[in-house]
């Protein structure tokens, strides 16, 4: 008993000392901690301008803002232990102690940790974690007043279960800024003494560092990283490395700097190019320019979370833009590992074919974190997006509906068949006429009659007008329909097909060569 008391005292003292040390380093008063806690809701100053803003009615004096790099993560670890696991109190204490020890040893001042025994998770285990949603957590940790802060930056909900001699451990991270729940990570052990260590091993996998996007210049992006000034003691859990990928998002705030909306930016990634403690630069990879904007608007924060591939591949589901319940079945997809879409391909092309559920499997390429996904319908490119595989298990791409264009293409293809038939017949009849003309055994009068007959047959074949009429009928109706559905992609493609086919018809059904040929035969007959 005495030993336990002594250990508790030592821990308490150690914790106080550690907290003090943190705050001394950033040269701020003890009230800084409070100020940090209020960062999310107060937002007196935007991170870019640094100007002070009124935080709410109750706030009277502006408080100095701590730059993001100097702000350690406020981390809460909530460990749920299955009551059926029958964990002895001693072991439970040891788990908490081991976990805390390991965090301190690895993250050091980067994290300020608060630990609790979770008693609110209905099913303390993998199932409970799977059922957990961001909205549930937001509801649970929503402050009483709108402007009040959430008391942590990161919440790690961990669970401990027991199946026979085996301890099953799982966890998820909830980021209060992006309000996103991470995927579930799990592990297991047979050794009770390893439970704390194994639980800790889940944390680096779950932890998503937070970035602030400062400026965008073309594809170059300047970033700031939270707690960049407090590098991890253990380099293996360093926050960022070159070639890491960040997924950006916008946070829209109201005039009280309360978050109104969080919007993720689709198909946009930032790849880290250079890390020099707090000076971080990266390249923006996006399907189209201007996703992040060049200037900053008031009350909009552009943040990002670092993501690391957790799976060997991802399932990318393609759906129609017009109806996201309808999968894109039977389409060719090309995967090209490269950074920017204008880059030349250095890796072999990966060909995929979407299945009945519109899903294709995209493997992780260790050399290229980003893979460009090209979706084709025939020769038409429907979509071209960058994608970071392995981060999530499933992803969905909405793709323009190509059915109208495809239908037109089919109709035009049939029209081309007819055109080929007509051209072939015309050529055959001309050849026959030439043969008759060259045949000296046929009397001149009869020859003339026979040649006339062949040219009469040529004249009866469908001409440019007939084909143009058919073409107009095919393309006009379809074009109108596409316009009505606001399918600009289809409108553009139909227009192009119309023009191309029209040129083809004009070229091959030009009556001039036939007329000239007739003339030649007549002259030959006169001679």
Which positions lie near another protein, rule CB under 8 A?
329-330, 332, 353-357, 377-378, 403, 406, 409-410, 413-414, 417, 420-421, 424-425, 427-428
DSSP 8-state symbol, 200: H
Q: How far is the CB of 130 from another protein (least distance, A)?
A: 19
Query: How far from chain centre, in Å, is Cα 492?
Result: 26
Q: Which run of H or of E encompasses 160?
A: strand 154-163
Q: Would you put residue 326 in left (φ > 0), alpha (ψ -120 to 50) or beta?
A: beta
Query: CB-wise, 312 or 417, nearer to another protein?
Result: 417
Q: How far is the CB of 379 from another protein (least distance, A)?
A: 9
Q: How far is the CB of 37 from another protein (least distance, A)?
A: 47
Tokens of 20: 């003090």
Locate the DSSP E strands across 190-312: 210-217, 220-225, 245-253, 259-264, 268-276, 279-286, 300-307
Q: Which residues contact 257 (CB under 8 A, 6 or more apart)?
A: 41, 42, 43, 44, 53, 55, 147, 299
Query: CB-wise, 24 or 357, nearer to another protein?
Result: 357
Q: How far is the CB of 169 from another protein (least distance, A)?
A: 28
Query: CB-wise, 46 or 354, nearer to another protein?
Result: 354
Most distant CA atoms of the chain, gap in Å: 133
Query: CB-wise, 257 or 352, nearer to another protein?
Result: 352
Query: CB-wise, 205 or 434, nearer to another protein?
Result: 434
Q: How far is the CB of 446 from another protein (least distance, A)?
A: 21
Q: Would you put residue 346 in left (φ > 0), alpha (ψ -120 to 50) or beta?
A: alpha
Q: How far is the CB of 380 from another protein (least distance, A)?
A: 9
Tokens of 70: 């100097």
Q: Are 292 and 221 in contact (CB under 8 A)?
A: yes
Query: CB-wise, 138 or 329, nearer to another protein?
Result: 329
How far, in Å, CA of 499 to CA of 328, rounded? 28
Residue with tokens 């943040």: 303
Q: How far is the CB of 428 from another protein (least distance, A)?
A: 5
Q: How far is the CB of 224 from another protein (least distance, A)?
A: 45
Tokens of 303: 């943040």
Closest of 158, 251, 259, 261 to residue 210, by C-alpha = 251
Closest of 433, 408, 416 to residue 505, by C-alpha = 416
Query: CB-wise, 377 or 487, nearer to another protein?
Result: 377
Query: CB-wise, 86 or 356, nearer to another protein?
Result: 356
Q: How far is the CB of 331 from another protein (least distance, A)?
A: 9
Query: CB-wise, 227 or 419, nearer to another protein?
Result: 419
How far, in Å, CA of 496 to CA of 360, rounded? 30
Query: CB-wise, 330 or 511, nearer to another protein?
Result: 330
Helix axes 444-460, 403-438, angle to 10 degrees: 180
First to last CA, the chain: 130
Query: CB-wise, 9 or 427, nearer to another protein?
Result: 427
Query: CB-wise, 334 or 365, nearer to another protein?
Result: 334
Tokens of 339: 């950074």
Q: How far is the CB of 455 from another protein (least distance, A)?
A: 16
3-state class of 207 per DSSP? coil
Query: How far from chain centre, in Å, is Cα 114?
Result: 33
How far, in Å, CA of 76 to CA of 117, rounded? 11
How far, in Å, CA of 483 to CA of 320, rounded? 17
Phi and psi, residue 124, nearest 5°: -75, 85
- Could you count the other beta carbons within 10 Å of the beta carbon of residue 478? 23
Q: Are 205 and 310 in contact (CB under 8 A)?
A: yes
DSSP 8-state symbol, 369: S
Q: How far is the CB of 322 from another protein (least distance, A)?
A: 15
What Rg value do the Cα atoms of the chain yield, rounded? 35
**Among positive and negative, which fits the CA dihedral 325, 330, 332, 333?**
positive
Query: CB-wise, 143 or 330, nearer to another protein?
Result: 330
Q: How far is the CB of 507 from another protein (least distance, A)?
A: 15
């Amino acid at each position: 008993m005495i030993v336990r008391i002594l250990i508790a005292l030592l821990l308490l003292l150690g914790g106080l000392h550690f907290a003090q040390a943190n705050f001394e380093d950033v040269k701020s008063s003890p009230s800084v901690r409070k100020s940090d806690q209020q960062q999310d809701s107060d937002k007196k100053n935007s991170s870019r301008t640094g100007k002070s803003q009124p935080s709410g009615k109750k706030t009277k004096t502006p408080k100095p803002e701590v730059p993001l790099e100097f702000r350690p993560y406020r981390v809460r670890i909530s460990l749920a232990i299955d009551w059926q696991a029958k964990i002895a109190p001693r072991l439970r204490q040891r788990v908490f102690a081991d976990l805390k020890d390991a965090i301190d040893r690895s993250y050091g001042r980067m994290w300020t940790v608060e630990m609790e025994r979770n008693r609110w998770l209905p099913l303390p285990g993998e199932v409970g974690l799977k059922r957990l949603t961001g909205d549930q957590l937001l509801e649970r940790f929503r402050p009483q007043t709108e402007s009040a802060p959430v008391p942590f930056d990161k919440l790690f909900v961990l669970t401990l279960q027991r199946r026979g001699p085996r301890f099953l451990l799982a966890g998820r991270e909830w980021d209060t800024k992006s309000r996103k729940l991470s995927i579930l990570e799990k592990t297991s052990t047979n050794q009770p003494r390893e439970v704390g260590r194994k639980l800790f091993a889940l944390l680096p996998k779950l932890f998503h560092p937070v970035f602030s996007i400062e400026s965008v210049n073309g594809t170059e992006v300047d970033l700031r990283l939270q707690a960049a000034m407090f590098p991890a003691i253990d380099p293996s859990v360093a926050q960022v490395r070159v070639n890491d990928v960040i997924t950006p998002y916008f946070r829209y705030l109201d005039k009280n700097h309360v978050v109104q909306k969080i919007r993720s930016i689709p198909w946009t990634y930032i790849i880290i190019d250079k890390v020099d403690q707090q000076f971080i630069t990266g390249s923006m990879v996006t399907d189209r320019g201007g996703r992040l904007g060049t200037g900053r608007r008031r009350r909009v924060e552009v943040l990002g979370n670092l993501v690391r591939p957790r799976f060997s591949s991802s399932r990318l589901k393609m759906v129609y833009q017009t109806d996201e319940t309808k999968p894109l079945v039977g389409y060719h997809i090309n995967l090209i590992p490269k950074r920017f879409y204008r880059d030349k391909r250095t890796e072999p092309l990966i060909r995929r074919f979407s299945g009945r559920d519109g899903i294709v499997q995209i493997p992780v390429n260790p050399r290229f974190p980003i893979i460009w996904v090209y979706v084709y319908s025939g020769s038409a490119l429907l979509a071209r997006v960058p994608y970071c595989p392995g981060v999530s298990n499933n992803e969905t791409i909405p793709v323009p509906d190509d059915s109208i264009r495809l239908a037109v293409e089919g109709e035009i293809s049939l029209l081309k068949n007819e055109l080929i038939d007509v051209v072939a017949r015309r050529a055959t009849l001309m050849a026959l006429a030439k043969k008759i003309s060259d045949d000296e055994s046929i009397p001149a009068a009869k020859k003339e009659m026979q040649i006339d007959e062949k040219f009469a047959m040529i004249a009866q074949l469908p001409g440019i007008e007939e084909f143009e009429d058919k073409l107009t009928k095919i393309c006009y109706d379809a074009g109108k329909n596409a316009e009505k559905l606001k399918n600009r992609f289809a409108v553009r493609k139909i227009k192009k097909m119309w023009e191309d086919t029209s040129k083809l018809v004009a070229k091959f059904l030009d009556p001039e060569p036939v007329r000239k040929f007739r003339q030649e035969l007549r002259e030959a007959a006169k001679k």
